[in-house]
Amino acid sequence: MTLTGNHLIAGHDIEPESHLFRASNPATGAEMEPAYGEADAKLADAALKEADAAFDDLRMATAGTRAAFLESLADEILALGDALLDRAHAETGLPMARLTGERGRTIFQCKTFAALIRDGSWADARIDTAIPDRQPLPKPDVRRVMQPLGPVVVFGASNFPFAIGVVGTDTVCALAAGCPVVVKGHPAHPGTCEMLARAVYAALEKTGLPKGCFSVVNGRGNAIGVELVKHPVTRAVGFTGSLKGGRALFDVACARPEPIPFYGEMGSVNPVFLLPGALKERGQAIAEGYIQSVTLGVGQFCTNPAVVLGLNNPDLQNFLQHAATSAAAVAPQPMLHRGICDAYNAGTAVWKTIKGLESVGESAAPANSDATQAACRIFSTTLDVLEANEELQREVFGPCSIVTRCESLEEMLRFAGSLEGQLTATIHGTAEDLKDYAPLVRALERKAGRIIFNGFPTGIEPCASMHHGGPSPAATHSFFTSIGTASIYRFVRPVCYQGFPDEALPGLLQNQNPGSAFRLVNSELTQADAG
């Protein structure tokens, strides 16, 4: 595929006018063709008006048609072949094996949402049939089902160019629900965005859905993102990225004359609690797993375990020694782009100046900063120092982490109680530890979206039970997940129909239930017909 550098509005190529930028290879610094342009308010307006015009066609299309589109999209992504992997590798520096796995997950997500909407149970249809002779008042016929919100704006993250990008969960579940999507392309991988966008158009064409359902506007400034969020037809926003960016755009969404839901998934420090029994039993294995998790994807995961806590005893010292050995063996790798690498080095350089924070392990090989390489850096400190320095409790995006020596369970509980909202919290323990430390689990339930036992927070299974979110500031709405099939609920709302004749109701609310979707009929969950 020859890349053009164009914005893609409802299937039309729009040549950029000004402010051209190119992707650059993080490992070599080489700039890549073609040049991309900065979209302006006019273009945002065009994309969103096209999305609004396509909304009725998309939402009225049968679930089967939308599912066929998602299955076709999966095929089209695969058909991009090695060229997609090569371009993403050149733009992000992510290893080919990682990108191949991420592409597989992206295709899986398309197929999973196709299966979800074909079944219909997800739409939470509820039917209460009328009781005309009820005393003292007749009961009306009341039914409700989820309906799509309308045009959705998506901001993908730089670190998952496929699975949380142009065709990531936000886009796929919004389209599955029946919402057209306008994506703000990530400026760090514009070529990857363009290739994937063309796959979306091919799938729309094959399934007869309007191309206005999908647009990608490019830009590397904040202005275009703000225009998209402010636009009057935008009904919701899906955002994955930094706390700073997410918070700024959330404020824009809330300040609109008509505020809209802004689903921001941002970073967190993902605390890991090492309980004494587990450290005694398998300290070395936990240390090795911990370093693998810290350095996975060069630490560029929102679920990176950035703060670890354990009781200050010989088992924790033993853990630290093994962690230091494992960290030394980690070869520095290129980060996603120069900006992220500079922020990582600056953030850890500030840490090194903090009194009471010791460096306990680092990649033995030097990091080549010309190739934006980052070394693994592990630190250790006491809880007092951690608490006294707020910057130690903020995410520094990259392969670094702080092991905190606590003096008691009470100290661990104090820290858990003071935590900001987190995407995840992890406990390593034995069954006996869990009994002794039950209050810690209770404390973490109040702080985190996902609690992991004897595992690590990196690696998110995109299944029905997954919750990738958490209380603020990890996410803007703690109720919703951005990964897994439940993510579709961000882009729908219940509509209740009272007194309608059967044939005028949405299919899932009619008496006949030909697709055998689970529905709540007169308070009974059933696949049977109603009435």
State which residue, 184 or 211, has the beta carbon closest to ligand NAP.
184
Minimum distance, C-beta of residue 279 to ligand NAP, in the bound complex (Å)? 28
Structure tokens at 263: 């689903």
Separation between Cα atoms, residue 100 and residue 71, nearest integer Å: 18
| Catalytically annotated residue among 179, 302, 341, 376 | 302
Residue ranges of E strands in 47-206: 126-128, 142-148, 152-155, 181-184
Separation between Cα atoms, residue 398 and residue 304, nearest integer Å: 8
Length of the chain: 531
Minimum distance, C-beta of residue 110 to ligand NAP, in the bound complex (Å)? 19
Minimum distance, C-beta of residue 14 to ligand NAP, in the bound complex (Å)? 18
Active-site residue flag, 258: no
Minimum distance, C-beta of residue 403 to ligand NAP, in the bound complex (Å)? 20
| Catalytically annotated residue among 76, 265, 395, 411 | 265
State which residue, 91 or 411, has the beta carbon closest to ligand NAP.
91
Minimum distance, C-beta of residue 248 to ligand NAP, in the bound complex (Å)? 4
State which residue, 220 or 414, has the beta carbon closest to ligand NAP.
220
Minimum distance, C-beta of residue 298 to ligand NAP, in the bound complex (Å)? 12
State which residue, 346 or 525, has the beta carbon closest to ligand NAP.
346
> Could you tell me which of 238, 273, 321 has the C-alpha nearest to residue 457?
273
State which residue, 247 or 280, has the beta carbon closest to ligand NAP.
247
> Could you tell me which of 120, 99, 118, 122 has the C-alpha nearest to residue 110?
118
The burial of 301, by beta-carbon neighbours within 10 Å (0-12 exposed, 13-18 middle, 19 or more buried), is given as buried
Separation between Cα atoms, residue 209 and residue 58, nearest integer Å: 7
> Could you tell me which of 433, 484, 470 has the C-alpha nearest to residue 454?
433
- Percent helix, strand, coil in the chain, to 5, is 45, 20, 40
State which residue, 210 or 241, has the beta carbon closest to ligand NAP.
241
Residues ≥6 apart with Cβ < 8 Å to 479: 469
Residue whose structure tokens are 């949402």: 113
Closest residue to bound ligand NAP by CB: 245
Which residues of this protein are in contact with ligand NAP, per CB under 6 A? 155, 157-160, 164, 184, 186-187, 219-222, 225-226, 240-242, 245, 248-249, 265-267, 302, 395, 397, 423, 468, 482
Active-site residue flag, 110: no
CB atoms within 10 A of CB 439: 14
Minimum distance, C-beta of residue 224 to ligand NAP, in the bound complex (Å)? 7
Separation between Cα atoms, residue 32 and residue 43, nearest integer Å: 24
State which residue, 26 or 267, has the beta carbon closest to ligand NAP.
267
Residues ≥6 apart with Cβ < 8 Å to 29: 338, 370, 371, 372
Q: Tell me how far apart the 2 most distant CA atoms of the chain are, in Å.
A: 82
Separation between Cα atoms, residue 264 and residue 308, nearest integer Å: 25
- 450 CA to centre of own chain: 14
Q: Which residues are catalytic?
A: 265, 302
